[in-house]
Amino acid sequence: MNEMKQLLLDRIENKTAVVAVIGLGYVGLPLAVEKAKAGYRTIGFDVQKEKVDMVNKGKNYIGDVVDRDLEEIVKAGMLSATSDFSIVSGADFIAICVPTPLDDYKQPDISYVENSTVEISKYLQPGTIVVLESTTYPGTTEELLLPILEEGSGLKCGVDFYLAFSPERVDPGNLLYKTKNTPKVVGGVGKDATEIAAAMYRSVLEGEIFEASSPRVAEMEKILENTYRNINIGLANEMAIICNKMGIDIWEVIEAAKTKPYGFQAFYPGPGLGGHCIPLDPYYLSWKAREYDYHTQLIETSGIINDAMPGYVIERCSHILNRFKKPLNGSKILILGVAYKQDIDDYRESPALKVIENFNSFGAEVEFFDPFIREYRYKGEVFIGLSALSAEIIHEKDLVVVTTAHTNVDYEWIQKNSKYIFDTKNAMKNVIVRDNIEKL
């Protein structure tokens, strides 16, 4: 076995390898904490000074990280953070966890990956492995990262350093599966890179590590996972629209379908897609597919259905208000939940923001309450929510619209005090008195 590879494997095994995590967000911070807890000296990098300062003070800002874990590993000197990329030169294992959003035209904005790779390349040392964890189009690792790293460092991939892709699968708010116990896929540029990256993840994580034959396979499998969800949610949304027209309860239909023990997985309708992954990642593939003269059809169709959902919510609300002889203009609306999914504080791409925007455009008077989010920023504006709910506040509204199914909300109490409710998430399924509740 070549000496450099053996040295790196030894450092992983005896926990003397130093880990660098680039990007300390929803993905990077939990990963950095797991690496440090497993016994690796870990350095987190972020361009946001506030995050760096918080980590160095042992203060947590990510829901899936346990406050005490962070505090203890920082105190023990196992985790520190910095914005100074020159410190990357001391790392053996570098994980890139920076954002991969879309631009205004739904095209990949790969600039965060590119910028952080350029920085790494300046300080990359022989004998290091770089692993991209950000979700991206197939080909990114070999077509974008590899040349940047080789050019910037003067080193040769597979000879002087290793490169791999390993998609992150963290599911914020999931009580069962965390970074530690979620299986991981690894695909290296060459077998050695796969073996080294897999060894590192095995030493830290409890889940199975699947060794893919290339970074492209690993990149594509992540896109498949998220496209599968995007399209199935699109199907659930379309079924919801049809069911409403036919006077059939979609939620009951799904419960019935779920009794089939094979061949069916339940997906649920809602006010639209949200989060940093499911609404965005499929477009990384559609963009890349065009290079091969292929136009992804299911992704586009699903996008059409899902993107229309906030507008559909307004349409249904206007029908409800119409029954009370109320126009949208001037109606008092309470939006319950702006997070893109239950029990988390993340509102990125949340459809609730579009529902609010739509209501505002029709002249409705909108207030929102979210037990996890006091204010949000949308298209350069800051929107401040209610700090608490009261029976009076709820009762003065013409309509309450449930847009997130948070579990720490007293829905019986909401029902009792509301004039009328439109529940887009079936969050109130356990409420017995239902005279004033309509579901999506």
User: Active-site residues: which are they?
Assistant: 277
Element (H, E) at 234: helix 215-246
Q: Which residue is nearest to ligand NAD (CB)?
A: 25
Min dist. Cβ of residue 277 to ligand NAD (A): 5
Residue 28 touches ligand NAD, criterion: CB under 6 A: yes
Bridge-partner residues for 94, per DSSP?
A: 20, 130
The correct pick among 89, 107, 115, 174 for binding ligand NAD (CB under 6 A) is: 115
Residue 112 touches ligand NAD, criterion: CB under 6 A: yes
Min dist. Cβ of residue 56 to ligand NAD (A): 14
> For residue 340, what are its two tokens?
């893109």
Min dist. Cβ of residue 221 to ligand NAD (A): 13
Residue 22 touches ligand NAD, criterion: CB under 6 A: yes
DSSP line for 121-140:
HHH--TT-EEEE-S---TTH
User: For residues 22 and 236, which CB has a smaller minimum distance to ligand NAD in the complex?
Assistant: 22
Which positions from 67 through 96 interact with ligand NAD, judged by CB under 6 A?
none
User: For residues 274 and 394, which CB has a smaller minimum distance to ligand NAD in the complex?
Assistant: 274
The 307-336 contact track toward ligand NAD, x by CB under 6 A, reads ------------------------------
Helix (H, G, I), strand (E, B) or coil at 217: helix
Query: Do 70 and 58 touch, CB atoms closer than 8 A?
Result: yes
Query: Do 352 and 369 touch, CB atoms closer than 8 A?
Result: no
Query: Do 203 and 19 touch, CB atoms closer than 8 A?
Result: no
Residue 385 touches ligand NAD, criterion: CB under 6 A: no
- Beta strand pairing call for 375-378 and 381-384: antiparallel
Q: Which of 159, 157, 156, 220 is nearest to 187 (CA)?
A: 220
Residue 100 touches ligand NAD, criterion: CB under 6 A: yes
Compute the 3-state secondary structure of the chain and give helix, strand, coil in percent, each to the nearest 5. Answer: 40, 15, 40
Query: Do 420 and 438 touch, CB atoms closer than 8 A?
Result: yes
Residue 78 carries which side chain, given as an amino acid letter? Answer: M
Min dist. Cβ of residue 387 to ligand NAD (A): 25
The neighbour count for residue 330, using CB atoms within 10 Å, is 11
Which positions from 227 through 286 interact with ligand NAD, judged by CB under 6 A?
276-277
Min dist. Cβ of residue 312 to ligand NAD (A): 25
The correct pick among 12, 17, 23, 344 for binding ligand NAD (CB under 6 A) is: 23
**Please, where are the H alpha helices in 308-381?**
309-323, 351-361
The correct pick among 47, 144, 235, 253 for binding ligand NAD (CB under 6 A) is: 47
Min dist. Cβ of residue 96 to ligand NAD (A): 8
**Binding footprint of ligand NAD on the chain (CB under 6 A):** 22-28, 45-48, 51, 97-100, 112, 115-116, 134-135, 168-170, 172, 276-277
